[in-house]
Structure 1
Amino acid sequence: MKLVRYGKTGAEKPGLMHGDSLRDLSAHVDDITGATLDDASLARLAAIDPETLPEVAGNPRIGPCVGNIGKFLCIGLNYSDHAAETGAAIPEHPILFFKANSAIVGPNDTVMMPRGSTHTDWEVELGVVIGKAAKYVSKEDALDYVAGYCIVNDVSERHFQTQLTGQWTKGKSPDTFGPTGPWLVTKDEVPDPQNLSMSCDVNGKRMQTGTTSTMIFTVAEIIEHLSHLFTLHPGDVISTGTPPGVGMGMKPPTYLKVGDVMELEIEGLGHQRQEVGEDA
């Protein structure tokens, strides 16, 4: 299934994609959140004949594919070639930082550059959505705790991230810096999360081309590692790192400007498009 949330910000409704048709799920579930992502709930939704669901007319805004996200967890430097382009050493363990939940927006919402920003960058990433509580799980069992996958643009302000003293979270958390979606693709449609092609274009020019097969730490290894540090809860999202081609790694470094357009794709997970605006 491809689960989606659509409508005005803060008032999104649940739906699913049936081919190219958006169908309304409101009669069956209040929202797509951690409370509805366990195996039994997903099986109940999967049993519904999509043809019986009302078709959503028009072209509504698409919201973040998960509502009320608990933790927004991010893994840094998880592709060896991305680490190389930034001049960083290969990490011994997954590098973890948090992205503020107030950064989360829909996949096609405007990304607003914060005041004074001159180093805002793009990062296409595979998002992993947790479906049931995971604590002390092994990598062999880790994927059993996944509800599905999505695209995340881990937008980053590099000056805030590296020069304002402190954790990376400062440069990762400005408002609108977490486009998520367009839909949550349930794990049954993604048999191997380590074999997905991914790309990011800026103003029509291909900047990032990669595949999840080159991750340093696999999705299963990330879940194992994190679940030994704290409990992962249903509705938590893990953004698993980005392949090479970010602006910071270019010679000379190249960053976003107001009016630029980012377009992101991951195989089987859909497409995002964001214009860059300027925060008031």
Structure 2
Amino acid sequence: MMRARVAYAGAIHEATPEGTRVRLADGRVREEHEVVWLAPFEPGTIFALGLNYAGHATELQFSKQEEPLVFLKGPGSVVGHRGTTRRPAGVAFMHYECELAVVIGRTAQNVKREDAMQYVAGYTIANDYAIRDYLENYYRPNLRVKNRDGGTVLGPWFVDAADVADVDALGLRTYVNGELKQNGNTRDFVTGVAELIEYLSGFMTLAPGDVILTGTPEGVVNVNAGDEVVCEIDGLGRLVNTIASDADYGR
């Protein structure tokens, strides 16, 4: 099942796909642009993976690490489908990162990888922007790179885990202004979903609603104000986002 959370007519609604439109829980059908898209669930702790595709690590001239590179993101970083993300004035390299987002469904502590997928509620798409100008160390991304307001786009749909046949064989694509720029597959994970849950739950408790952003493949390019960025993942939909300037935000 695919479902979303949207704001419409002064209220928040659960919504489901209706062709190219959305059906609200009360039965009303609206066009995508008539509603405000929120993250499709209330995110808890957001765990983000760096360099989790071999090709992307090579692209950035870094080799595989002995254990996953994980950092945390605050809730203020999240924006929904069709939202905007600000590009600060004066930066030289800001890029998208199309990622599979894994949503935890029940409390997980010391989970073994063979049992790990039982703790997954479902999946959505993430576009986790990075500003390379602010990077101090590739292995320890700082706050200005990865915790910017509106820099993590989630949605549009939450898809139940049971409806994703093989999470380790999903194609990911990113288009900038309609041109394909990124084309990867989760089969190229350095550390797979089950291993990540085993790793994280081995030293901390994962709670329902926690999100694991599993990293991005190679193929990142600079984006500028006015660009439309579309991330697709097989079976999860199409996440649309627009880059805005400081001036658009009145800064």
User: TM-score w.r.t. structure 2 length?
Assistant: 0.90
CA RMSD of aligned residues (A): 2.1
1:70 pairs, out of 44, 56, 77, with 44
Per mean C-alpha deviation after superposition, the further-off stretch among 54-63 and 217-226 is 54-63
Matching residue of 1:36:
none
Q: Do structure 1's residue 277 and structure 2's residue 251 form an aligned pair?
A: no
Question: What is the CA deviation profile of residues 232-278 of structure 1, one whole-angstrom value per residue up to 9, with x for unaligned ones?
Answer: 1111111000000012xxxxxxx221111111100000001111101
Identity %: 36
Gaps of 5+ in 1: 26-52, 248-254
Alpha-carbon distance between aligned partners in 1 of 2:51 and 2:139, rounded to the nearest angstrom: 19
Alpha-carbon distance between aligned partners in 2 of 1:202 and 1:264, rounded to the nearest angstrom: 9
Matching residue of 2:211:
237
Matching residue of 2:186:
212
Q: 1:147 to 1:257 in 2, by over 3 A?
A: same
Matching residue of 1:267:
234
User: Does the 8 Å CA contact 2:102/2:213 hold for their aligned counterparts?
Assistant: yes
Q: Do structure 1's residue 56 and structure 2's residue 29 form an aligned pair?
A: yes
Amino acid at match of 1:14: E
Look up the SS of the partner of 1:102 in the other structure.
helix
Gaps of 5+ in 2: none
User: Does the 8 Å CA contact 2:23/2:30 hold for their aligned counterparts?
Assistant: no
Greater fraction strand: 2
Alpha-carbon distance between aligned partners in 2 of 1:87 and 1:124, rounded to the nearest angstrom: 19
Alpha-carbon distance between aligned partners in 2 of 1:115 and 1:143, rounded to the nearest angstrom: 42
User: TM-score w.r.t. structure 1 length?
Assistant: 0.81
Matching residue of 2:146:
172
User: Does the 8 Å CA contact 1:21/1:55 hold for their aligned counterparts?
Assistant: no
Look up the SS of the partner of 1:183 in the other structure.
strand
Alpha-carbon distance between aligned partners in 2 of 1:163 and 1:232, rounded to the nearest angstrom: 27
Alpha-carbon distance between aligned partners in 1 of 2:111 and 2:60, rounded to the nearest angstrom: 32
Question: What is the CA deviation profile of residues 187-215 of structure 1, one whole-angstrom value per residue up to 9, with x for unaligned ones?
Answer: 01102110100100112221110000010
Alpha-carbon distance between aligned partners in 1 of 2:91 and 2:12, rounded to the nearest angstrom: 30
Look up the SS of the partner of 2:217 in the other structure.
coil
Deviation of the 1:185 alpha carbon? 0.3
Q: 1:169 to 1:138 in 2, by over 3 A?
A: farther
For these two proteins, the number of residue pairs brought into alignment is 244
Question: What is the CA deviation profile of residues 88-112 of structure 1, one whole-angstrom value per residue up to 9, with x for unaligned ones?
Answer: 0112111101122101000210111
Matching residue of 1:31:
none
Q: Do structure 1's residue 157 and structure 2's residue 140 form an aligned pair?
A: no
Alpha-carbon distance between aligned partners in 2 of 1:21 and 1:121, rounded to the nearest angstrom: 29
Q: 1:166 to 1:188 in 2, by over 3 A?
A: closer
User: Does the 8 Å CA contact 2:99/2:213 hold for their aligned counterparts?
Assistant: yes
User: Does the 8 Å CA contact 1:97/1:168 hold for their aligned counterparts?
Assistant: no
Question: What is the CA deviation profile of residues 64-92 of structure 1, one whole-angstrom value per residue up to 9, with x for unaligned ones?
Answer: 1112x111110110001110110001121
User: Does the 8 Å CA contact 1:199/1:210 hold for their aligned counterparts?
Assistant: yes
Amino acid at match of 1:191: A
